[in-house]
């Protein structure tokens, strides 16, 4: 599965969260990083090239800061110019059909403010309706967004957990299941030479493994409960 | 009451609907028309000038084509750069508080597609959440949007009705009531020299007046019904 990460940020080099995410990306031919402001500093988008990029990938991700509850201007320009009729929608416009589409949002306020009565007053599910509608119109499968609330206040431990979530969001088969997360973690553990593990990292990964196993137990318990109910009938 | 109409369109001179609306605007010092792409062809926004414009008006309207369920890129840039902390929100950021905010949206598909199960799948109320959230954050009063569906398919009669609706949206006190619409129509009738009225225009205005009177009658009938119910108790 090939993933295209389209990053948009008015000053991406100065963004702590964007740099953190971008620098974490593995050197993997299945993953294409595409920073719009770096590719098109004058804003003149090469439409044919962009459409070809889209066609050549299976999962399309928009990664951007959620200023004023929407995308940066260059990403909006990209949408308006690249997602044309007969390519992305309309008669024979099926080039994006059945691809996966996801949002990776850097958000300035804490999650609890994004609900009725909170300071922002609307949920992320409500505020991203325009992107959900875009996915619908183009026939793409809308993934649950990866939301990053208040990156600058995150602890080191939270940042490490974010990295795992980010890399799974980019490369794991959807829907992300307990089984796929387990397999991903085991694969990553195998890749890591035992002696290079700093103690703190090792502890962190062990903790992740423990969490997965706990989730596993809960799921198994639920299954058992269902089976018990079934036997009773 | 002073109204600021901020128009954004990637090629405003070529837009039939935008030209139709813009050319209908009366020469009125209470109304400021501000076309972003004409003022800032290079996209370099004069932030101080824009903030001053906002402060000097009571009703702020965004007028744009609803491409990909959002604003054109330059209007998004304007939002990101002009609506700064300490001006539009945050500590002492109360410069827009209690102003009215409205959207004038040119929309390509018919209204019936904008609902669950329709081709677009989402309502205009859902798709405009980011603007509702912006109004909330800046303390502005969010007006019911003026939605213009499929302008290019409108009949002459529908276009004339749109002009009346547009001019009322720009200048009438909110909420727009039957009484204020009646007064507006009577004022416009008084301003029109009888002999300049083309027959068709005269008929159209008479029809509008008739419609208002009919609405009036329905409202009065309902009131009467309520009173009757009250007497019965």
DSSP per-residue string spanning A176-217: --HHHHHHHHHHHHHHS-GGG--HHHHHHHHHHHHHHHHHHH
| Higher-scoring residue by pLDDT: A213, B160 | B160
For residue A86 the two structure tokens come to: 């007969």
Nearest-CB residue to A68 (from B68, B79, B119): B79
The C-alpha of A128 sits at a distance from chain B's nearest C-alpha, in angstroms, of 8
- pLDDT for A196-231, tens place per residue? 666 777 777 777 777 877 787 788 778 878 888 776
Asked if residue A232 has pLDDT above 70, the reply is: no
- Cβ pair A68:B120 closer than 8 A: no
Check residue A197 and give its pLDDT: 65
Between B223 and A63, the higher pLDDT residue: A63
| The length of chain B, given as a count of residues | 233
Q: What is the pLDDT of residue B206?
A: 74
pLDDT higher at B126 or B231: B126
Asked if A129's CB is within 8 angstroms of B70's CB, the reply is: no
pLDDT reported for residue B173? 85
For chain A, give the mean pLDDT: 91
Distance CA B203, CA B84 (A): 49
Taking only Cα atoms into account, the Rg of chain B, rounded to an integer number of angstroms, comes to 20
Cα B32 to Cα B60: distance, rounded to the nearest angstrom:
10
If phi > 0 it is left, if psi is from -120 to 50 it is alpha, else beta; for residue B69 that is left
Q: What is the pLDDT of residue A196?
A: 65
Residue A60 has pLDDT above 90, yes or no: yes
B19 pLDDT above the threshold of 90: yes
- What is the maximal distance between C-alpha atoms in chain B? 69
Residue A114 pLDDT level (bands cut at 50, 70, 90): very high
Of the candidate ranges A122-136, A193-207, B35-49, B130-144, the one whose mean pLDDT is the lowest? A193-207
Q: Which two structure tokens, joined as six digits, stand for B121?
A: 């799948």
The band of A174, judged by pLDDT with boundaries at 50, 70 and 90, is confident
| pLDDT higher than threshold 80 for residue A97 | yes
pLDDT surpasses 80 at B89? yes
- Min Cα–Cα distance to chain B from A33, Å: 22
Interface probe, candidates B47, B71, B73, chain A, greatest A C-beta count within 10 A? B73
Tokens of B15: 């837009």
By percentage, how much of chain B surpasses pLDDT 90? 72
CB of B68 within 8 Å of a chain A CB? The answer is yes
Select from A67, A120, A134 the Cβ nearest to the Cβ of B68. Answer: A134
Q: How far is A219 from chain B (nearest CA, A)?
A: 34
- Separation of first and last alpha carbons in chain B: 45
Residue B74 has pLDDT above 70, yes or no: yes
Using an 8 Å CB-CB cutoff, list chain A residues near B80: 10, 67-68, 72-73
Question: Does B122 reach chain A within 8 Å, measured CB to CB?
Answer: yes
Do A129 and B69 lie within an 8 Å CB cutoff?
yes
pLDDT digits (tens, 9 = 90+) for A3-41: 999 999 999 999 999 999 999 998 899 999 999 999 999
Residue A76 and residue B76: Cβ atoms within 8 Å?
yes
Q: List alpha helices for chain B, DSSP H.
A: 16-23, 36-39, 47-55, 73-82, 124-127, 129-138, 156-171, 178-191, 199-232
Structure tokens at A13: 């080099």
Contacts of A129 in chain B (CB under 8 A): 69, 122, 126-127, 129
- The reported pLDDT for the residue numbered B31 is 97
pLDDT over 70 (residue B120)? yes
pLDDT given for residue A198 in this prediction? 65
Q: What is the pLDDT of residue A233?
A: 60
Alpha helices in chain A (DSSP H): 16-23, 36-39, 47-55, 73-82, 124-127, 129-138, 156-171, 178-191, 199-232
How much is the mean pLDDT over chain B? 91
Q: Look at residue B117 and tell me whether its pLDDT is greater than 90.
A: yes
**B34 forms bridges with which residues in the sheet?**
B6
> Residue B191: phi, psi to the nearest 5?
-70, -20
Q: What is the pLDDT of residue B198?
A: 65
A224-to-A215, A229, A231 alpha-carbon distances in Å: 14, 9, 11
Residue B153's Cβ-count burial label (10 Å; 0-12, 13-18, 19+) is: exposed
Contacts of B129 in chain A (CB under 8 A): 69, 122, 126-127, 129
pLDDT of residue A210: 75
Strand duo A146-149 + A100-107: pairing:
parallel
Q: Sorting pLDDT into bands at 50, 70 and 90, what band is B184? A: confident
CA distance B135 to B139: 6
Query: Is A70's CB within 8 Å of B70's CB?
Result: yes
Tens of pLDDT, residues A120-163: 999 999 999 999 999 999 999 999 999 999 999 999 999 999 99
Closest residue in A to B137 (Cα) is: A120
A68 touches chain B (CB under 8 A): yes
* Coil vs helix vs strand at A71: coil
Task: Specify whether the CB–CB gap between A96 and A140 falls below 8 A.
Answer: yes
Q: What is the pLDDT of residue A173?
A: 85
CB-based contact A61:A4 (threshold 8 Å): yes
Q: What is the pLDDT confidence band of residue A195, given thresholds at 50, 70 and 90?
A: low
């Amino acid at each position: 599965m090939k993933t295209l990460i389209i990053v948009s940020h008015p000053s991406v080099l100065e963004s702590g969260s964007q740099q953190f995410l971008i620098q974490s990306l593995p050197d993997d031919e299945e993953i294409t990083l595409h920073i719009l402001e770096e590719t098109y500093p004058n804003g003149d988008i090469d439409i044919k090239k962009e459409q070809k990029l889209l066609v050549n990938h299976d999962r399309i991700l928009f990664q951007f800061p959620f200023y004023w509850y929407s995308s940066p201007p260059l990403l909006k320009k990209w949408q308006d110019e690249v997602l044309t009729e007969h390519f992305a929608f309309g008669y024979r416009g099926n080039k994006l059909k059945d691809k996966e589409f996801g949002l990776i949002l850097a958000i300035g306020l804490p999650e609890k403010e994004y609900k009725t009565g909170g300071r922002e007053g609307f949920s992320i599910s409500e505020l991203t309706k325009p992107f959900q509608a875009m996915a619908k119109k183009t026939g793409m499968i809308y993934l649950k967004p990866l939301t990053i609330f208040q990156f600058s206040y995150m602890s080191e431990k939270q940042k490490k957990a974010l990295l795992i979530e980010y890399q799974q969001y980019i490369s794991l088969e959807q829907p992300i299941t307990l089984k796929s997360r387990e397999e991903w973690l085991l694969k990553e553990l195998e890749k890591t030479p035992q002696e290079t593990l700093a103690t703190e990292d090792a502890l962190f990964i062990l903790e992740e493994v423990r969490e997965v196993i706990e989730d596993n137990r809960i799921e198994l318990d639920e299954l058992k409960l269902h089976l018990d109910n079934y036997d009773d009938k």
